[in-house]
Chain A
Amino acid sequence: MSGFPLRRVRVAEVEQVAARIKRFRFVDIDNAPLSQFSGGSHISVVMHSGDRLMRNPYSLMGSPTDTSSYQISVLHCGADSRGGSKFMHENVAVGSELEISQPLNLFPPVRLAKKHVLVAGGIGITPFMSMMNELDALRSDFELHYGVRSLEDGAYCKYLQSRYGSRVNVYRQDQGQMIPLDAILGEQRLGTHMYVCGPKPMIDWALQTAELQGWPQENLHSEQFSAPPPGKPFVVKLAKSGREIAVKGHQSILEALEEHGVDASFLCRGGACGQCETGVIACDGYIDHNDHFLSEAERVGGKKIMICMSRIQTGSITLDL
């Protein structure tokens, strides 16, 4: 059971909401209602750029109960982009047609939490847009701490402050403001959960700050959609079919398999959900585990790889496919 059923949508609206961020609004191609979703959900957007096929995950930002359209925000990653965000910014306009997956939630608010502390950096604000919508409707206690480079770079600052008032705290890097996380976490009641989304160093810092304060792991949540890091080309051998597939430098193993028509299982394509876990039969190189799913012991064991994100530095790898 690989992949997911796709839905065709049309772009109904594109808005530049910050210096490098565009908001896109999608409606069903036949204006049929879309699924409701839960706060923190994302969709995958399928992009055909030249001969390349990309499926990038983007958090849904609108109201979870609005079935008339979905909204995502895309940061133009510039030179760092593998092409997905560049494609969205340069090739997608009002009227464009795209394929999207059903919503999937790998970052849900915990309903048993006494309080929710949301920590966002830059484009990491997006999953919190729907989450706050949901928490507000449920009258749950929450507060947002949102770090931006400047007001020009940060999306939705004014909107969030007008909608949620003092529950929203914005920190401007250009004015030397930092999220005082140590102080924030230090005064939370028991049963509070923290959620962080942003660049990897920020996630690491937030989790570490909480752990040093003795927060339990179960109360800490993070989400990061990182593209599969590029590397050197290598060869994947498939044990069952006996085929050999070349993985290019900018490709993930999963993308290379798909390019060659090999059916492999996947879901989130960000190394978080575990669906693409694949057995490693042999490997004469070093595996770069770029996922968030495998345990430390499993990484050391070297018997499993998440093919949507991870690759090898040199040599070849034989997979149980």
Chain B
Amino acid sequence: MALIFKDETFRDDFTYKNSPATIRRFPFPFIEDQYRYSVNIEPHTPGPKGSVYEFTFDIDEHYVSEMRDRAMVLQEDPGRCQALPHMMTAQWDMLELVMVSLARDYPDLFTLHRDGAHWHWINKPLNIDQKFTFGEVNSLPYEPMEYVGRQIQGDFSLQDQRDGQLWMDAGIITSQADWSLDFDVGMNFFEWHAPVPLAHEAGVFERALKFLLNMQIGQPVRRLNWTMTINPRLDTSPENYPKWGKDRTTVTPENVGEKVHLRVELQGLFRLPRSNAILFSIRGYLMSLEQIVTVPKWGRRLPRVLKSLPPELIEYKGLARYRQTAIDWLEKYDDGAPTSPGGGPD
């Protein structure tokens, strides 16, 4: 199916919406009616055709508009893209992985010609035609991570590996769920995860770190994470909290279905070959409650899951002000029927 890119906004008038086909492929993260914390890491192998897991990086109908929103964020705040000097090899690794993957998986949209270090990249949806020399920063208009990061949906961070730790030493983060690259850059795995409740005590991060330190080239993994966002706003950063924090107080029983969005992150982890760094991709998907309930299984399950959340998590994800309003609205769509296992629609 050829993609038709939508012209829409993620700020001000918020015209973002999913088409019916995009609703069906939404990575609904709840595999059962009860909320249960799990690391849920699985190999990032190609998934079913048409699913968000089909390719290494997922491009969908929101691509062009998301890239426009990213450019606006970077224009207003260049600090959303930072790389410490020792991460240049990792930046080129990331550029290669992204370009090679996109050109392979979406040949109608992207083309890459390589002749030794002489590369020619064509991005049709964004009207980009760039010849450059791989490894030579001056041959691109931006540093490699920013160059390619402005052309792929999702946020990205690059982790250096040293001293038995991972260090977030680079990233391009413009559509984040309330965390700051500017604050986290240079931190290690335990430091940037410090605010997460419950998981530290359960030893989750120690196990996860050990797993990640031994990640192998060509064996990427993925997991889903989720939160909720008021309005389809990509940039819910701490830097812009004054712009979006107050949105939480605007939810009413009348507008909850339209305003409250489930925000799902398809997170990927890749060992990069030259730098031995780890690339972390955070590909976000937004869907309003009224679009979620168009899938009956999700309409039944979501209120059940929201009711079962532990208090620490409600606080951490910032749901406290509107969770009950959301449950009350969603329960109209829960007829009490049993739901099938797994997250996908029936």
Show the binding face of A for B, using Cβ within 8 Å: 1, 4-5, 35-38, 41, 64-65, 101-105, 108, 110-112, 138, 218, 267, 273-275
Contact = CB atoms under 8 A, between A and B. Distances in A.
Interface stretch (B32-40, B156-164, B331-339): B156-164
Given A111-B86, A112-B86, A274-B210, A38 B218 contact: no
Contacts of A5: 218-219
A275 B216 contact: no
A35 B219 contact: no
Contacts of B216: 4, 101-102, 104, 267
Contact of A37 (B89, B219, B273): B273
Interface of B: 43, 86-87, 89, 160-163, 210, 213-214, 216-219, 273-276
Given A108-B162, A112-B162, A38 B219 contact: no
Contacts of A41: 276
A102 B276 contact: no
Contact of B163 (A65, A218, A273): A218
Contacts of A1: 43
A102 to B, nearest CB: 5
B274 A64 contact: yes
Nearest 8 A/B pairs, CB to CB: A111-B86, A38-B276, A36-B273, A105-B276, A108-B276, A102-B217, A110-B162, A35-B217
Contact of B218 (A35, A64, A267): A35
24 contacts: A4-B216, A4-B219, A5-B218, A35-B273, A36-B274, A38-B275, A38-B276, A102-B216, A102-B217, A102-B218, A103-B273, A104-B214, A105-B276, A108-B162, A108-B276, A110-B162, A111-B87, A111-B89, A111-B160, A138-B89, A218-B163, A267-B214, A273-B213, A274-B214
A4 B89 CA distance: 25
A36 B96 CA distance: 12
B274 A65 contact: yes
Nearest to B167: A112
Contacts of B276: 38, 41, 105, 108
A134 B89 CA distance: 10
Contacts of A4: 216, 219
Contacts of B275: 38, 111
B7 to A, nearest CB: 39
A275 B214 contact: yes
Nearest to B88: A138
Given A5-B219, A112-B162, A38 B273 contact: yes
B161 A108 contact: yes
A36 B210 CA distance: 23
B217 A273 contact: no
Given A1-B43, A102-B217, A274-B210, 5 more contacts: A37-B273, A38-B273, A38-B274, A111-B87, A273-B213
Contacts of B274: 36-38, 64-65
A273 B216 CA distance: 12
Given A108-B161, A218-B163, A273 B214 contact: yes
A135 B346 CA distance: 54
B99 to A, nearest CB: 15
B217 to A, nearest CB: 5
Contacts of A103: 217, 273
A4 B217 CA distance: 10
Contacts of A64: 274
A88 B217 CA distance: 25
Contacts of B218: 5, 35, 102
A275 B87 CA distance: 27
Contacts of A275: 214
B115 to A, nearest CB: 15
A219 B213 CA distance: 19
Nearest to A273: B214
Nearest to B43: A1
Contact of B217 (A37, A108, A218): A37
Contacts of A102: 216-219
Contacts of A273: 213-214
Contacts of A36: 273-274
B162 A111 contact: yes
Contacts of B213: 273-274
A63 to B, nearest CB: 11
Nearest to B274: A36
A37 B93 CA distance: 11
Contacts of B162: 108, 110-112
A218 B162 CA distance: 9
A1 B42 CA distance: 10
Contacts of A65: 274
Nearest to B216: A102
Nearest to A101: B216
A85 B163 CA distance: 31
Nearest to A138: B89
